[in-house]
Structure 1
Amino acid sequence: MDASRDEGHRLSIAPTTDIPALAESTARLLATVEAMDAAQLGEASLLPGWTRGHVLAHIARNADALLNLLTGARAGETIPMYASVEARNQEIENGAKSSLAEQLDDLRASAARFDAGVAAMTDDAWSRTAAHRLGPLPVAQVPAKRRQEVEYHHVDLGLPALYSPADWPASWVATQLSHVAAQFSGRAEVPSIALVPEGGEALTTGRSADTAELTVSGPGHALLAWLTGRSDGSTLTVRGSVAGEGSVTGEGSVTGGEGTLSLPVLPPLG
């Protein structure tokens, strides 16, 4: 088979829309890191116990870990993302100590390795299922999973002047809202919630989809940031009923008569 025909064959099942979108997300992350100064690297990120250096090291090692899934799919073998939980944690700790220049080089090199792994995929490899550390994952979803890691952890750097939830691409936000709402759906500890993103389609989540106890509305990116624990949701509008006090409305936490309506505390996504 000649090279041109082989290239077309490789991309016929590959997630072609996710691949260029991932490239754009990676480019935005690299631009942020290029704009950082050395002092910011050791400062706290939005993730408890992690500096920005830890976040960047994790992003780089995640590229290599997901590359392992692609490599295993091509070989028809199960290759774990990490040798062990301990090895994963140690790699992040080691990387967090690197200089800003070293971190930037690592991010670029790991992204290039991942891109090369994607380019080498075949239809058969894309059709397989990989052993992601959180459970089975269709290999065709690996590029989207990688983009998810890049976008969320870009915000986790805690540099809102350079990148914040408001900078997340709108189409990505819409997809993630649906995904996260599904993850909370049916969970008894989460009240029934109607999520209403501005200019988007309403979603339901929580213990029951029949009747919403709360309606939470606002920009899609603000809803997603709250749902994923990256915001306290103070800019969101909450509507619902407080026992004995009727309907109340407000932002974040709302007082109606003697009752108070607040955004619920959501459990970790896992």
Structure 2
Amino acid sequence: MPINRAPFGEVVEAVREHTSLLLGTTISYSDDDWAHPTALIGWTRSHVATHLVEGALGMVRAIQGLHAGTPRRMYESEAARHRALELGSLDSGLELQIKLDTSASALQAELGALEGDDRLVTLRAGYHLSARHIPLARLGEVVLHHMDMESHFGPRDLSPEIALSLLAFQVVHIGDREDFPAHRLVADEGYEGTVGRQGDSVAEIRGPAADLLAWLARGIESPTLIRS
């Protein structure tokens, strides 16, 4: 299934813009704010921030390994990923803010060189994608985890083009997973995609791409969504 996405340069710039929006939210957090629970069960805002930091650094490792001809995954192991998450979540708010900023900047410097690069990258076990889609993967993480932090950021803060790109990416990423009910998603902006178990009767859900993205990726309901 093709990914209908915005031009590469627009995606890379959107990573920069949405990272800046995220940092604009987190700069005001006190240490108590960082300890606040998020929409992700068992994760505080500091866990989410650490996940974004480690994700950016892991993508840098994977990209540099690709260029060097020595493929590397984002994380050495699941145990190492978990350990880094728990340790990083203990950082102070200032430390988290600095790490978010510096890791994002390091990744941003690598993204432009991936335009047109169709080499397959394995970011972690079972997660493969073309190198040119890494910016879109990162954009999805930044956008969705900004929502997870339960800030004022939401679907309305996405442009239609970026929302469509992220929706199509999520549809491809979820694919025909057996643990996901079959749904046909029809975006007002002109995109259709199907996810979920093959062989199931397919329910249809219509609405703006941004709201479909929030529902598909996080189960967030919206009065703009229509089911049939």
* Higher RCO by CA contacts (8 Å cutoff, separation 6 or greater): 2
Provide the residue aligned with 1:156 in structure 2.
148
Q: Find the counterpart in structure 2 of residue 246 from structure 1.
A: none
**TM-score when scaled to structure 2?**
0.83
Report what 2:131 is aligned to.
139
Cα separation, partners in 2 of 1:212 and 1:103, compared to 1, 3 Å: same
Deviations 1:162-186 (A, max 9, x none): x122223321211222233345554
Partner of 2:97: 104
109-118 vs 225-234, which deviates more? 225-234
Shift of 1:27: 1.0
CA radius of gyration, larger in: 1
* CA contact 2:34–2:45 (8 Å) conserved in 1: yes
Q: Larger % of helix: which?
A: 2
2:28 to 28, 35, 38: 35
Distance (whole Å) between structure 1 residues aligned to residue 69 and residue 175 of structure 2: 34
Deviation at 1:232, TM superposition (A): 4.2
1:89 to 73, 82, 87: 82
Deviation at 1:216, TM superposition (A): 1.6
Taking the TM superposition and a 5 Å limit, the aligned residue runs for 1:112-261 are 112-118=105-111, 121=113, 126-133=117-124, 134-159=126-151, 161=152, 163-186=153-176, 192-207=182-197, 213-232=202-221, 236-239=225-228
Where do 5+ consecutive residues of structure 1 fail to align? 1-14, 240-270
When normalised by structure 1's length, the TM-score is 0.71
* Residue 66 (str. 1) matches residue 59 (str. 2): yes
Task: Please state how far the C-alpha of 1:107 moved relative to its aligned partner.
Answer: 0.6
Q: Is the 8 A contact 1:194 1:216 kept in 2?
A: yes
Distance verdict in 2 for CA 1:145–1:213, change over 3 Å: closer
Structure 2: how far apart are the matches of 1:220 and 1:191? Answer: 19
Map Cα deviations across residues 37-76 of structure 1 (whole Å, 9 max, x no partner): 3321101011111001000011011000000011101211
- Cα RMSD after superposing both structures: 2.8
Aligned amino acid, residue 139 of structure 1:
A
Letter in 1 for 2:166: Q
Query: For the residues of structure 1 that align with 2:50 and 2:206, how far apart are their CA atoms?
Result: 35
Partner Cα distance (1:101, 1:27) in 2 = 16
Residue 19 of structure 2 aligns to a residue in which SS? Answer: helix
In 2, the alpha carbon distance for the partners of 1:122 and 1:169 equals: 23
Report the counterpart of residue 3 of structure 2 in structure 1: none
Structure 2 unaligned residues grouped into runs of 5+: 1-7
Matched to 2:131, the amino acid is V
Matched residues in 2 for 1:33 and 1:41: separation? 8
CA shift, 1:191, in A, is: 5.2
Whether contact under 8 Å (1:69, 1:139) holds in the other structure is: no
1:99/1:68 CA distance change after superposition, 3 Å: same
SS in 2 for 1:35: coil
Aligned residue type for 2:51: H
| Residues 46 and 230 in structure 1, CA contact (< 8 A), matched pair in contact too | no
Q: Is the 8 A contact 1:194 1:212 kept in 2?
A: no
**Number of residue pairs aligned between Structure 1 and Structure 2:** 221
